[in-house]
Chain A
Amino acid sequence: MIGQQTTVGRTLRRGLRTDPQVLIVIGSLGALLAFLVVVPLVLVLWFSFRTAGPGERGGTFTIDNYVDTFLNPLTYELLINTFWFSVGSIIVGLIIGVGFAWLIERTNTPLRNFGFVSIVINSAMPAAMFAIAWVLVLNPRTGLVNLPFTALLDWDKGPFNPNTMWAMIFVEGLRLAATIFLMVIGLFRSMDPSLEEASSMSQVGTFKTARHVTLPIMTPGILGVVVYIATSTVGVFEIPGVMGMPADIHVLATRIYLATSQVPPDYGFATSLATIAGILGVVGIIIYHRVTRIQQRFATVTGKGYRPRRIELGPTGRYISAGLIILFFILTFGLPMFILFWASLIPFYQAPLPKALEFVSLDAYRFILTGPGRHEFMQGLRNSLLLILVVPALTMLLSAVVSWFVVRSKARGKSILDMLAFMPHTVPGIVMGLAWLIIGLFILTPTYGTIWLIVIAHVSLFIAYGTRTTNGAMFQIHRELEEAGAMSGAAWFSTFRRIILPLLMPSLVAGWLWVAIHSGRELTVALLLQSSSNRIISAYVWQQFFGGRLSLAAAAGVVLVLLIIILVVLTRIVGQRLSRQH
């Protein structure tokens, strides 16, 4: 009848259940991620409230660990040290990183490509190696920078000393500069150039424009970068470990390491410190998300395909900027690499002066490659190669499957899956290392002391990065490409294997190489989990350095850097080939 209305309010029965196949997969993925991510962190928290450490029988609930930690004046020294170390190195990193991003992206400085290469090549040098090189450069007697004072002025020692907070801040700042550069350059690229042009048209000069227009516009974006970096510096271990620890200058990460490697280990102290570090990390990431959300609200960066006009530097400016780029390359790669190489050629370290040339030999290489040291070194090399091959493969495959569920499926709980996958990112590496140490001692005891424990730990460490890559790529694949597979009669698994994986391949390869590089040079977790049989090269370098066998450490380091450079170059080639294809 006309005038009657269709009834809509029919109750919707949920008679149609979710596909069991999908439920099983999402359930087991969730369980796997929970095991990789949640269990380690929960264990850290658990043992911070127990009287007995992992592997020991018994134990009761206690808050003594925290009472001890907070009554211990050492803790406050640690927090203050960590604070200054973070703030100082971020300031150094910001000045260099943002300055370089501006020079390379927004001006007509010479050596632009070279500047880029020097940033990228810096990532080939593991942080510990970088720190060792700077220890040699800054050595009060034999260090290159002190040579003018000791060799020419005949002072007892020069003014520079690697075992100080200032030196740590400077060296960490150089490392951060590269990371900050890579994060900030995107902001510069997507900035609307007309904002700057409007300033130029108001007869305001280049540097005033940069200071009063460009920088304020960039501020929210840079603030996001700062919070992100600060979160990561809370758990930085390598540089304070190499430079600060010998002089008893401790930060959170080095103290946690010390508490676990002393005899007997103090797990109560380690886990309560790790919990504090973990909380700092989570708070940092929450602030980061808030900051980036605000940044999106005040979107000054439009993301349209602008090609910003480059600022013309005068002839003097061009000389200065070229000089700065060369100086940056020397400080971040040229000098450390040269010193490491030199140290590998000299049995007992001496400054690189002509009179030392008579001691130059390849003995260290002979010792680790063919001599008596070869077993230990080759074992490390084998283990490192295993990591480089297995960790990225597992990480990227798991990431691809997780991303499919996060981006594509309509299953409930997919956001939990995404959160789980992102969580390791919020937790400092040293905390993850401690967590996996506990798992090795406590749950997966058969894996303790094997390379496989490090493999699993690394997968849990890099899954956050892996899923970010594959999530982005999955969004790019049109949903209908996959639906066409289902409509062709192919089951979920065939569609995933024949359509999704091949289409994801470019990002999988890029992510694979990134994870390979980072797994190959990772030290913190590997060091905490090391035993005599699962040592990898980076841990081998550490052990030789602290054992006083500098030439062996340097030689192994050179081999490791070469290995990673090959991976970096491969990444560039693959990246360029893929970007040409599309």
Chain B
Amino acid sequence: MTVALQVSHLYKQFETDQGEVHAVVDVSFDVEAGAFFTLLGPSGCGKSTTLRCIAGLERPDDGDITLEDAVLVSSSRGMWTPPHKRPMGMVFQSYAIWPHMNVFDNVAFPLKQGPQKFSNTETRDRVMRSLALVHLDGLEKRPAPQLSGGQQQRLALARALVNEPKALLLDEPLSNLDAKLREEMRMELKQLTSTLGITTLFVTHDQLEALTLSDQVAVMDSGHLVQYGPPREIYEAPRNRFAAEFIGSANFFEGTATDTVGTGGVTGVETEHGVLRCTTAEAVSKGTRVAVAVRPENVMLHAGAPPAGDDVNVLSGKVQSVVYLGNTLDCQVEVGGALVKADVHPGESVSEGDAIALSFKVSASRVVPVGVAVAAAEQAG
């Protein structure tokens, strides 16, 4: 696979009344051609600013951005391409449908005002093709403000695609839709982008959207890119506490590493509940303060004897609460003063007050660094 979009060492800060805000700090990533790449994070994490730097709507303080063969931004060479010269289409959070034009004119705008000039018939053909792509054909005469939210969304998509851009940028496009419509549009978006094979950059704060749509997810926190990789990797092997907590939920046990191991190795972690054996994604040295992240669905509860072996950690505790959620039982188990969350099959017979054993696999226990996100946030602030 070839790399279509390359972002390296991107920095952006804003001057505000409260002083400087580091919105984007040393963010680098590659997006492969045709991939669906998602920037995920809570509001204010810098994901939108990153996207806007790529679009050219913000001017980064430092860093390089290349799209295919073209250098869009290069701070060392003092290069910056204005947004209207970047071959990209963008769907905005508010859709930004121009209210003084009808559907046709909205889509035709990039063709009429853009860098390339088209004949009237060519323009018409392209607009119609683009509208057909998003199932808006037949509505071209309608004034834009008369469209529903979902239709405006499709129109914005058609407008972004009509110029056949090299990359499609989506800034939280689904957040203004109601839940049902959002799900529908999510499916459509996935289908459309994979049919077209277009390199897509998607910004969202919704982990479900990120996991279901993306080939690659980049998790951002306080301006930093904390991890990026395929959704499954992010979920199963979070590199730090923030990634583990922001996507899904996790139990954390803090402690000290007992071994020095390399990437993908297994180390013991001395916690207040004893030594837990865990898998680490990055190299870790003996004596470092770390945390162990365990997903609730990976925690097994055993009324009887727990399994034994090298590949499993076992703790014992007392069931504090059990909430029936239909497809799972959401259990809180008190272990040595701390609460551990476990999602178990609803068929399990667990009730409050039971003394119980907990087990989780070594492969499901991930070492994450302690407090990096906090330290970074402090430095950024």
Binding site for B on A (CB under 8 A): 1-3, 5-10, 12-19, 478, 480-481, 483-492, 494-495, 498-499, 502-503, 505
Contacts and interface: CB of A to CB of B under 8 A. Distances in A.
A487 B89 CA distance: 6
B174 to A, nearest CB: 15
A330 to B, nearest CB: 45
A173 B197 CA distance: 73
B62 interface: yes
B115 interface: yes
A488 to B, nearest CB: 4
Nearest to B225: A6
B57 A483 contact: yes
B96 interface: yes
Contacts of A495: 84, 113
A12 B12 CA distance: 9
B288 A3 contact: yes
B283 A483 contact: no
Nearest to A497: B113
A488 B114 contact: yes
Given A16-B61, A480-B94, A487-B88, A5 B376 contact: yes
B294 interface: no
Interface of B: 9, 11, 13, 22, 25-26, 55-57, 59-62, 73, 75-80, 82-85, 88-90, 92-96, 98-100, 109-110, 113-116, 156, 159-160, 163, 169, 224, 280, 282-285, 288-290, 367, 369, 372, 375-376, 379-380
Given A2-B284, A489-B85, 8 more contacts: A2-B369, A6-B376, A16-B62, A483-B57, A483-B90, A487-B88, A488-B114, A503-B98
A16 B156 CA distance: 30
A494 B113 contact: yes
A502 to B, nearest CB: 5
A463 B168 CA distance: 41
Nearest to A486: B83
B100 A5 contact: no
B363 to A, nearest CB: 18
Nearest to A9: B379
Contacts of B80: 16-17, 19
B98 A499 contact: yes
Contact of A1 (B13, B75, B283): B283
A499 B367 CA distance: 52
Given A13-B62, A483-B57, A485-B113, A2 B376 contact: no
B39 to A, nearest CB: 17
A36 to B, nearest CB: 30
Given A486-B56, A494-B113, A13 B282 contact: no
B280 A490 contact: no
B284 A485 contact: no
Q: Determine which residue in A481, A483, A487, A490 has the highest number of CB atoms from chain B within 10 A of its CB, and name it.
A: A487
B282 A1 contact: yes
A462 B267 CA distance: 75
Nearest to A501: B100
A438 B98 CA distance: 47
A483 B92 CA distance: 9
A309 B169 CA distance: 50
Looking at chain A's contact residues, is the secondary structure mostly helix, strand, loop, or mixed? loop
Contact of B92 (A8, A17, A484): A484
A469 to B, nearest CB: 19
Given A2-B284, A3-B285, A16 B75 contact: yes
Contacts of B77: 15
Contact of B109 (A6, A483, A490): A490
Nearest to A17: B78
B69 to A, nearest CB: 19
Contact of A16 (B78, B99, B282, B367): B78
A443 B369 CA distance: 72
Nearest to B61: A12
Contacts of B76: 13, 15
Contact of A12 (B11, B94, B99, B375): B11
Given A8-B26, A485-B109, A503-B99, A13 B88 contact: no
A3 B369 contact: yes
19 contacts: A2-B280, A2-B282, A2-B284, A3-B284, A10-B26, A12-B61, A12-B62, A16-B78, A480-B92, A480-B95, A480-B96, A483-B57, A486-B83, A487-B84, A487-B89, A487-B169, A488-B84, A491-B82, A491-B84
Given A489-B114, A499-B98, A6 B26 contact: yes
A392 B76 CA distance: 47
A485 B89 CA distance: 10
Given A12-B11, A489-B163, A484 B96 contact: yes
Contacts of B13: 12
Contacts of A3: 284-285, 288-290, 369
Contacts of B290: 2-3
B22 to A, nearest CB: 7
A514 B61 CA distance: 43
Contacts of B57: 483, 486-487
Contacts of A487: 55, 57, 83-84, 88-90, 160, 169
Given A480-B96, A491-B84, A8 B379 contact: yes
A6 B93 CA distance: 31
Contacts of A7: 26
A194 B186 CA distance: 47
A503 B78 CA distance: 35
A19 B83 CA distance: 11
B96 A489 contact: no
Contacts of A480: 92-96
Given A1-B282, A2-B369, A478-B96, A490 B376 contact: no
Contacts of B93: 480
Contacts of B369: 2-3
B283 A484 contact: no
Nearest to B82: A19
Contacts of B61: 12-14, 16
B78 A488 contact: no
Contacts of B110: 488-490
A478 B96 CA distance: 8
A498 B280 CA distance: 56
B96 A481 contact: yes
A481 B97 CA distance: 7
A381 B379 CA distance: 69
Nearest to B60: A16
The 10 closest A-B pairs by CB, nearest first: A489-B114, A488-B110, A490-B113, A15-B75, A480-B96, A484-B96, A486-B83, A480-B92, A487-B90, A3-B288
A486 B62 contact: no
Contact of A488 (B82, B95, B113, B280): B113
Nearest to B83: A486
Contacts of B56: 486
A474 to B, nearest CB: 15
A485 B62 CA distance: 25
Given A12-B61, A16-B60, A489 B100 contact: no
Contacts of A15: 62, 75-78
Contacts of B160: 487
Contact of A13 (B75, B79, B285, B376): B75
A5 to B, nearest CB: 5
B82 A1 contact: no
A498 B84 CA distance: 14
B73 to A, nearest CB: 7
A485 B92 CA distance: 11
A494 B82 CA distance: 14
Q: Determine which residue in B22, B90, B116 has the highest number of CB atoms from chain A within 10 A of its CB, and name it.
A: B90
A351 to B, nearest CB: 57
A486 B82 contact: yes
